[in-house]
A and B are shown apart, each in its own frame.
Chain A
Amino acid sequence: MKKYLLPSIKLTIVLIVLFAVAYPLFIAAVAKFAPGKGDGVTVKKDGKVVGYALVGQNFTEDKYFWSRPSAANYNAASSAGSNKGPSNEDYLKTVQDRIDTFLVHNPGMKISDIPAELVTASGSGLDPDISPRAAEVQIPRIAKARNISEEKIKQLVKENTKGPLLGLFGPSTINVLQLNVALDGLK
C-alpha cells in the first residue's frame, strides 16, 4: 500500500487546488458578468430592495396575490418541504384548514374553484410562482380590497404571465413577488 500512499496524498492536494480553489473562483469571476453579478438578482420597489426575484415570499393580506403554502415560512435561510405523505390524515386536515381559510378570504368562490397548488406546500418552501389559474381565482378578492376593476388586474396578471419555454416546453408561471410589486404600482 505504501507504494500508492504518497502519490495518493500528493495527487489529492493538487486536485483540491484545482477543484476547490481555481474552479469556483473562475466561475465566480465569470458570474460577475451575469445578472445580479452572482450575488442573486434582487427586486426593488421605490429604490428599496424588497426581495430576491427567484425567492418566493409570504403574502397574507387580502390586497396581495398569495403565494403557495410553505413548510419553511418563506425563510430562505432554511428551505424545507413538508415531507408529508399523501395518505397522512393529519396532513389532509391541514389541507382542509387551508381550504377553509381560502374560502373565508375569497367569498363567492366554490371549493371546486381552488387549484390544489394553493392549498399544498411547495417542495422548497420558497416557490416564487403560481400558475395562471391560481392567480385568476384571487382576482375578485384583490379587486375588492384595492377598489380596482377586475379587468385591470386581469390585464396585469396577463402581462406578468411567463409562458412555456419557447412556447413549447414546460408550464406557464407567474412570479408572485413581481406581480405584487406591479400591483402596488397600479393607480
Chain B
Amino acid sequence: MLNIEVNGRKITAKEGDTILQALTRAGIKVPTLCYLEGMLPSGACRMCVVEVAGAPSLIPSCSFPAAEGMKIKTNTPQVLEARKTIVELLLSNHPDDCLYCIRGGDCDLQRLAKENGVRHRVFRGARTKRAKDVSSPALVRDPEKCILCGKCVRVCEEVQGVSAIDFIQRGSNTFIGTAYNSGLNVSSCINCGQCVLVCPTGALAERSYVDEVLKALNTPGKTVVVQHAPAVSVSIAEEFNMKPGTDIDGKMVAGLRRVGFKKVFDTSFTADLTIMEEGSELVKRATGGGVLPMFTSCSPGWIKFVEQFYPELIPNLSTCKSPQQMMGALIKTFFAQREKINPADIISVSIMPCTAKKFEAARPELGRDYASDVDYVLTTRELAELFRVTGVDPSALEPETPDTPFGERSGAGKIFGASGGVMEAAIRSAYFLITGSELKDYNIQELRGMKGCKELRVKAGKIELGAAVVSSLGQARKLIEEIKAGRSDLQFIEVMTCPGGCINGGGQPLRANMDAIKARMSALHQIDKDAPLRVSHKNTQVKRLYEEFLGAPLSHKSHELLHTHYTKRDVLR
C-alpha cells in the first residue's frame, strides 16, 4: 500500500497503480481522452495532467506510477488552464457543425469543452479538407472530425490484431487512414466497429440505414418484417437511461410493432436452429473424419478475418450461416410461402449489436435471386434512433411476445450474445445428440465470463472433445498460431470478434465501461437461468420447422438454405 496525498486529503494506492487508477479508486475524477480502460496508456492527449509536488512540470496521470508520499493536486489554476488550452487547441481545426453531427450531444470532445469552460473559439487554425470515407457498407469515417487521439488505431491493432488503419504522414498533415489511403471496403478492415466504440468524436460511426428503413415502412405493398439479436434486448435500455443489464425484451418487441413492423421475429430462434445444424455438423465431422478443429461461423468479422489472413483455415469454418442469415433465408422462403407473399415484396430488417452484420447481409453468396436475404441491418444504436424518431418510448410499453413461426427461443439461443454462449448451447445439445440423455447441469461456468480465452474438455458417451472459446481476434490469432504450431487437442472452437461477445459489439450503446459489459453478460445468463426452455433441441417451433419444411439437420434443403461456403479474399494487408 502506498500513501499519497491528493488535494490535501490522504488516500492509499496499490503498488503498481498509475496516478489515474489511484485517483479513480478514491473517487477523484480526472478528465481523460486518449485513455483506454484495460490497455497500456499512450499519454498522447495530456488531458489527465495533474500537479505533483517537486515535479518540474505537469504530470500525465494515466501513464505515471503512483509513489509513496506523493503530493498531488488535481485542480490548481495551472492544471485547469492546461486542460482548457488542450481542448481549445483540439477545437482549433475541428468543424463547428455539432448540430448536424451523429455524435452531437453525445461527444467526448463536446463534453470536455463544456466541463473545462471553453466558451468561444480561441485559436483559428487552418481546416484541412479531407473526404469522408463512405466506401464501407458498415462504417463511415470522417477524417475532418478526427482529433488523432489514436484510440481506433490501438484497438484495431492491440485488441483485434487487424491494423487496417494507422497514422499516415506527419506533423500537421497527419491523418488516420488505411494503406495507400484507399477505402475501408478494400482494406483489411473487418467491420467490427470496435473503433466506433472508442472514438471520442463523430470521426467514426456506423453507416446508418434508419432513413431507408423508415422509407420501407411507409412503402405500400411491402411487408416489412424484423428480427432482433439476443444481445440487443439487454443493452438497448441504456439508450433510454436505464441501468446497464436491464432486459427489455418484451417492451422492445412491443416498440418494434408500434414503429410499424408487420412481424417481429427473434434471432435467438435461428440461434437454436444454428445449434441443431452446427451441432450435427460437429458430430458428423468428429465421427466421420471431417476437418477439425471446427470453428464457429456466427461472427461476420471473424469470417472476413479468416478469408483474408488465414484462407487455409476456410475448410475449418462451420458451413452454417450465421443466425441472422438463417433467419433471412427462412423469411424469404418458408415464411413467404406460408403467408403467400412474393419474396420480392418482403423487406427484411434485422436489429443487431454489430456493424459487421451490415457487411454480412450484403454478401452476394448469402442472398437469393440477386437480392439480399436481409435487406437492412440496424445496430442497437440505430434502433434507439428509430424509436426516438418515431416517438416510441419502449420503457412505457407493455411487454409483448414475438411472432410465430420464428418466435420461440430457448435460453441456449439467448446466450449466443455472450462469449462462450454458442459453445455452451452447442454442448448442451451435442451431449443429447450423442448420448440421448440430457446434461445434469446446464450451467457451464468454465465458459462464462470476460476472459479472452476459455477452454474445457467435454465428454459425451464415447466422444471426448477439446473445446475453446475465444473473444477478440487478437486472442483468436494467438490460438490459431498455437494450432498451426502443432497443437491438436482442440476440436471445436468458438470465436467471437468482439471482446466478451456480441454484448460488447460495435453496434452497441456507446460509453459502456467494463462493469456495464459484465452487467449485460450476466443479464443474458439470468434470462437463460429463468427460461422454461433451456436447450435448443427442445424448441418446439424448431422441431416443427424441421417436420414441415427442412426435413432433418444437414438435409438437402438445410444445405441449400442454411449453409454456405467462403473463399479467399485479397486485400492490401
A and B part of one assembly: no
By a beta-carbon cutoff of 8 Å, the part of chain B in contact with chain A is none
Give the interface of A toward B (CB within 8 A).
Answer: none
